[in-house]
Amino acid sequence: MFITWLGHSCFKIQNKVGSDGITITTDPFDKSIGLKVPSFESDIVTVSHDHTDHNNVKALRGTPFIIDQAGEYDVKGITIAGAESDHDDKRGKERGKNIIFRIEVDDISVSHLGDLGHILDSKQLDLMVGTDILLIPVGGTYTINAKTAVEIVSQIEPRIIIPMHYALPGLKVKLDGVDKFIKEMGLKPTYEDKLKITKKELPQEDVELVILKP
């Protein structure tokens, strides 16, 4: 499996590279945030909530299957489950609802928390238990901050953590940098252009923190 970060909350997840592979895209953004808009062919797109920095499906090529609601889906052999959550810690009264997704690719569970704004409740946590790779917002302001992100990592206990939704050069959204999260986690990160991994290569004991380059 390959995971490439396009910036913000947008990832390209592929079971293999090439015309016979399946590509899943999460939360594609529009040009308003100041980053290069993702434009490639995708088979499946997940949208955590209907804000322009997360729902720019039209930028992608092809005719992707769009998942923007909670529920269970099986598309082209890829299993995806989504659960409702809130975009803030006021039961969605400030910023509305958010969908957290669990995506099964090559026997690896990848969970994408979108713009989550709170600690997980028992129902949400049930979906996340057994997550191998966690894609988690850490920049605060519009989502959980670094400290709350660490609490959620402790709830889920993934094998690999990949932070997202934090300050980047050129980004017009005011967010904290990833360094706050690295400090809170107390782990030495590895830096990768993209993550290439198989089920047998997942860490078995210590959790790993991976910082992807957009």
**Domain boundaries in the chain?**
2-212
The model's confidence at residue 8, banded by pLDDT at 50, 70 and 90, is very high
If pLDDT is split at 50, 70 and 90, which confidence band does 156 have?
very high
Provide the pLDDT for residue 96.
60
State the pLDDT at residue 19.
62
Banded model confidence at residue 200, pLDDT cuts 50, 70, 90: very high
Residue type for 80, please?
Answer: I
Residue 20's pLDDT band, with cuts at 50, 70 and 90, is confident
What is the CATH class of 2-212?
A: alpha beta
pLDDT greater than 90 at residue 51? no
pLDDT at 131: 98
Q: Which residues pair with 109 in a beta bridge?
A: 104
- Per-residue pLDDT, 49: 85
Nearest one of 97, 89, 94 to 114, comparing CA atoms: 97
C-alpha distances (whole Å) from 113 to each of 19, 103, 150, 187, 199 are: 28, 11, 13, 21, 21
3-state secondary structure (DSSP) of residue 74: strand
Mean per-residue pLDDT of the chain:
93
DSSP SS3 for 39? coil
pLDDT score of 182 more than 90:
yes
In the chain, where do the E strands start and end?
2-7, 10-14, 23-26, 44-46, 65-67, 71-75, 78-86, 97-105, 108-112, 133-137, 160-164, 190-192, 195-196, 208-212
Confidence of residue 170 (pLDDT cuts 50, 70, 90): very high
For the chain, helix, strand, coil in percent to 5 are: 15, 35, 50
State the chain's maximal CA–CA distance in angstroms. 44
pLDDT tens profile 73-127: 999 999 999 999 886 566 755 666 899 999 999 999 999 999 999 999 999 999 9
% of the chain residues with pLDDT over 90: 83
Asked if residue 50 has pLDDT above 90, the reply is no
Higher per-residue confidence, 5 vs 20:
5
pTM: 0.94
pLDDT of residue 87: 67
More reliable by pLDDT, 187 or 18: 187
